[in-house]
Copies of this chain bind each other. A is one copy, B any other.
Amino acid sequence: MQDFVFHNSTKLIFGKDKEQLVGQESVSYSKKLLLHYGGGSIKNSGLYDKVVSSLREQNIEIFELGGVKPNPRVSLVREGVAICKENDIDFILAVGGGSVIDSAKAIAAGAHYDGDVWDFFEGKSTIEACLPIGVVLTIPAAGSESSSGTVITNEDGWYKRSTGHITMRPQFAILNPELTYTLPSYQTACGITDMMAHILERYFTNEKNVEVTDRLCEATLKTIINNAHIVIEEPTNYAARAEIMWSGTIAHNDSLGVGRIGDWASHDIEHELSGIYDIAHGAGLAIIFPAWMKYVYKHDINRFVQFANRVWDIEIDLNNLEKTALAGIKKTEQFFSSIGMPITLKEVNIDSDHFEEMAKKGTENRPLGNFVKLNEEDVLNIYHLAK
């Protein structure tokens, strides 16, 4: 186990109707905020009205910025930064999923900085502090509600890049599983894939003696797997929605990753894909992760055997460990497919035209991954495996 610091101070308020507390929670930070959200869904569902009314009850002055898209854009972030600076806004409330929260986090960093916010994503500058953020979560997926990172896309060149800082962690996040009842099954499945990928990125490590975090990862993966089909078949099943929602937070709140070095190559490889093609991040991960697994499993067959056995209940064939390892990868792929995710690039109409460009762009600063270090050629091979 490696040395680590675990410090996650986000206050997580979980349960039915809890969005009604948003005004009360927000007012302890400011009487003026930027309300940040995506498209019309929160207006159609009535959530927008509930949030605004809770904020008004506390006499909070509301500035608004909607329009966050999946794979959130730096152009909108810059707009948000300008609004905060012009109006001396010192608190941001994100109502939505990971894209909205990530966009809010980038605004929170940019509002505290004299230069252009993209500097942070290019490593030209380092975040020193962010405005405080609150969250009402509507999509369990990214885990951004209690993570310290953000991923933003720059339309100028379609670069999708990440940055982070401890002060970027939301102060509070409200999680009401009922708010996810109206999520379409495809988006539900994308979220499930994303949270599983967050765990898998941590699970595949070269660190030895990480039993407790291994088992916590397996526990959370099994829960997600067991509840995935229920939420897709019965969208208003509170119990299953609650398991999925809380698992999504656990998957990315750092508790499963302490003391170990995660991989994250699949995320980086997928970011190139959804940076250019604008496909859903979860769908991209369902395609890339199994391909990555097939490409690297020989690096540590025993770890893949453990994964197959403990997560998928596949009996260990001691005479053929490789067979067991491959069966676990196959099960993962079949599972993604069973919840409606694509598992090949062909299914989302992506051909090999940009493979070389993506492999080059993704590795231009450093090799990807930690479990196995991948160079440009490796990444290219993985895209081909995912065809």
Given the complex of chains A and B, what is the CA–CA distance between A227 and B239 in angstroms? 34
For A173, the closest partner residue in chain B by CB is: B6
Which of B16, B242, B259 contacts A14, CB < 8 Å?
A: B259
> Would you call B5 and A12 a contact (CB within 8 A)?
yes
**Smallest Cβ distance from A317 to chain B, in angstroms?**
19
A333 within 8 A of B: no
> Would you call A223 and B242 a contact (CB within 8 A)?
no
Contact with B along A128-145 (1 / 0, CB 8 A): 000000000000000000
A222 within 8 A of B: yes
> Would you call A212 and B208 a contact (CB within 8 A)?
no
Given the complex of chains A and B, what is the CA–CA distance between A8 and B9 in angstroms? 6
For A247, the closest partner residue in chain B by CB is: B212
Which of B209, B222, B255 contacts A255, CB < 8 Å?
A: B255
Which of B16, B211, B250 contacts A223, CB < 8 Å?
A: B211
> Would you call B211 and A227 a contact (CB within 8 A)?
yes
A11 within 8 A of B: yes
Which of B15, B226, B243, B258 contacts A246, CB < 8 Å?
A: B258
> Would you call B223 and A212 a contact (CB within 8 A)?
yes
Which of A38-46, A75-83, A213-221, A300-308 sits within the interface?
A213-221
For A13, the closest partner residue in chain B by CB is: B5
> Would you call A4 and B9 a contact (CB within 8 A)?
no
Contacting residues of chain A (201-245) with chain B, CB-CB under 8 angstroms: 208-209, 211-212, 215-216, 218-220, 222-223, 226-227, 239-240, 242-243
A2 within 8 A of B: yes
> Would you call B14 and A209 a contact (CB within 8 A)?
no
Given the complex of chains A and B, what is the CA–CA distance between A18 and B3 in angstroms? 9
Given the complex of chains A and B, what is the CA–CA distance between A233 and B211 in angstroms? 18
A366 within 8 A of B: no
Q: Tell me how many chains of this kind the complex includes.
A: 2
Given the complex of chains A and B, what is the CA–CA distance between A324 and B326 in angstroms? 34
Given the complex of chains A and B, what is the CA–CA distance between A240 and B212 in angstroms? 10
For A9, the closest partner residue in chain B by CB is: B9
**Smallest Cβ distance from A19 to chain B, in angstroms?**
12
For A21, the closest partner residue in chain B by CB is: B5
Which of B5, B7, B14, B220 contacts A216, CB < 8 Å?
A: B220
Given the complex of chains A and B, what is the CA–CA distance between A359 and B242 in angstroms? 39
Which of B5, B9, B209, B250 contacts A242, CB < 8 Å?
A: B209
Contacts of A258 in B (CB 8 A): 14, 246
A350 within 8 A of B: no
> Would you call A209 and B239 a contact (CB within 8 A)?
yes
For A213, the closest partner residue in chain B by CB is: B246
Which of B208, B222, B255 contacts A215, CB < 8 Å?
A: B222
Contacts of A255 in B (CB 8 A): 250, 255
> Would you call B1 and A6 a contact (CB within 8 A)?
no
Contacts of A246 in B (CB 8 A): 1, 212, 258-259
For A255, the closest partner residue in chain B by CB is: B255
Contacts of A247 in B (CB 8 A): 212
Contact with B along A113-153 (1 / 0, CB 8 A): 00000000000000000000000000000000000000000
User: Which of A15, A226, A240 has the largest count of B CB atoms less than 10 A from its CB?
Assistant: A15
For A18, the closest partner residue in chain B by CB is: B3
For A15, the closest partner residue in chain B by CB is: B3
Please list the residues of chain A having a beta carbon within 8 angstroms of any beta carbon in chain B: 1-16, 18, 208-209, 211-212, 215-216, 218-220, 222-223, 226-227, 239-240, 242-243, 246-247, 250, 255, 258-259
Query: What 5 pairs across the A-B complex have the smallest Cβ distances?
Result: A3-B15, A215-B219, A9-B9, A209-B239, A7-B11
Contacts A208-B239, A212-B246 known; list 7 others, CB within 8 Å. Answer: A5-B11, A5-B12, A6-B12, A209-B239, A212-B220, A212-B223, A242-B259
